[in-house]
Amino acid sequence: MTDYDERPDTDDSVVTFRPGEREQQCIVTLVDDLEFEEDEEFRLVLGIPRSQSDLGLSLGEQKEMVIRITDSRDKSVIRFSEPRYTVSEPVAHGEVTVLRVAVRRHGDVSRVSVVRVHTKDGSAHSGQDYNPLSQELVFSEGQTERLVEVEVLYDEEGEMRETFTLQLTPDQHMVADTQVTKAIVFIEEKEGGDVGGITFPAVPLVVSLLVYEDPTLAPTETSNHPPTGYPLVCVTACDPRYPDYSRTLSLCVSEGINNTLTEYRWLLGSPGTPDGVASPPRELDAGTFLTSTRFRIQESP
C-alpha cells in the first residue's frame, strides 16, 4: 500500500527559484488509511542544480533529509465501553438479572485480536451475588464490538450496594493495546436500599492494633482470634495498609473515596457454634473514654 505520493526523479519534481527568491516549498502528500503501521521512513534528495545564468551553482551540505511517518492514531485499542455499570438485584428467588457489557475495538480493525474478560470479587461474591465469568472474545477482521453477559443473582440478605469488577487481559496476538481494563459493577439493593453513599471496592478487615502496620499478619477465619488486651482496627479497602491495596487503589481513586473521612459502625455478635448457630449481631452505640463507635479503632469498655 502506498504511504505517500512519490516525487519522481523527473522534471515533474523540479523546484524553481525565481530572481530574488530564497525559499521554495517541496510538497509531499501523505496517504491516509485506517490500517496501523509502525514508524516508517523515506528520504528527500536534492538533484544537481541547473540555471540559465552564468553564475556557478552548487549544493550545500544539507542535500538530503529523512522523513519519519508515525501512525499512533490508527493503533488498535480494545477497551470496556464504560468504566462502571449499575445493575439491580433480582426481586425473587430463582430470578437472574443479566448485565450486558460492550467491549469495543478502535483504530485498525484489519487483523484478528483475542482478549479474555473475567470477573473478580469485591464486596460481592461470585456464586452468591453473581455468576463468575471467564470468557474469551475473538475480534475478527473488521469487527469492532463484542458483548459479554454477567448474571446477577438473588439473595435473601438485606445488603447495601455491593461491587465486583470485570477485568480485561492483554491481546493474545499482541496486535491491539488494551485500555480501561477494569470496569466496576454496582449491584443495587433489590428493594431500593440506600445507594447514595460511597461503596468500597472490597470488604474491610478487622485486625488487632498489634498488627495494624502489617494486616497480613492478622488471624484468618481458620486461625486464632485477635490477641486480647489490644484495640481492634477496621482496615478498609482504601486504607494504604489494606493487604490488596495495590489492586483496590485505582478503584478508590475512580470513586473519589477519601479514606480519612470514613465513618464507621461496629456490630457485635457472639461466635457461631460448630453447627452454624449464632445470635444476631447488635450495633454498638456507646463509645469509651478514648474512642467513639464511629471511629475505625474500637476497644472494650
Helices (H) and strands (E) in the chain, counts: 1, 16
Same domain flag for 261 and 294: yes
How many domains are contained in the chain?
3
- What was the pLDDT predicted at 286? 60
Of 121, 153, 188, which closes a domain?
Answer: 188
Question: Residue 208 — very low, low, confident or very high, per pLDDT cuts 50/70/90?
Answer: confident
Domain stop point among 59, 74, 89: 74
CB 141 within 8 A of CB 112: yes
Q: What does the pLDDT average to over 185-211?
A: 75
Q: Both 127 and 31 in a single domain?
A: no
Domain stop point among 48, 74, 100: 74
Q: Which residue has the higher pLDDT, 221 or 250?
A: 250
pLDDT, residue 119, reads: 96
* 85 plus 182 within the same structural domain: yes
Domain holding 101, by residue range, is 77-188
From the list 183, 133, 131, 125, the residue with the least C-alpha distance to 157 is: 125
Q: Is the pLDDT of residue 212 over 50?
A: yes
What percent of the chain has pLDDT above 70?
80
Question: Are both 156 and 183 inside the same structural domain?
Answer: yes
For residue range 253-294, what is the model confidence (pLDDT) as tens digits? 888 888 888 878 787 777 666 655 456 667 666 666 566 767
pLDDT grade for 100, boundaries at 50, 70 and 90: very high
Looking at residue 169, what is its pLDDT? 96
> Of the given ranges (45-54, 192-201, 287-296), which has the lowest mean pLDDT?
192-201
Q: Regarding beta strands 77-80 and 177-179, do their DSSP bridges make them parallel or antiparallel, or are they unpaired?
A: parallel
Choose from 121-135, 198-212, 219-233, 244-258 the range with maximum mean pLDDT. Answer: 121-135
> pTM of the predicted model, to two decimals?
0.51
Other CB atoms within 10 Å distance of the CB of residue 271: 7
What mean pLDDT is predicted for residues 198-222?
78
Of residues 91 and 196, more confidence is placed in 91
Q: Is 291 inside a domain boundary?
A: yes
Q: Which of 274, 267, 152, 254 is nearest to 204 (CA)?
A: 267
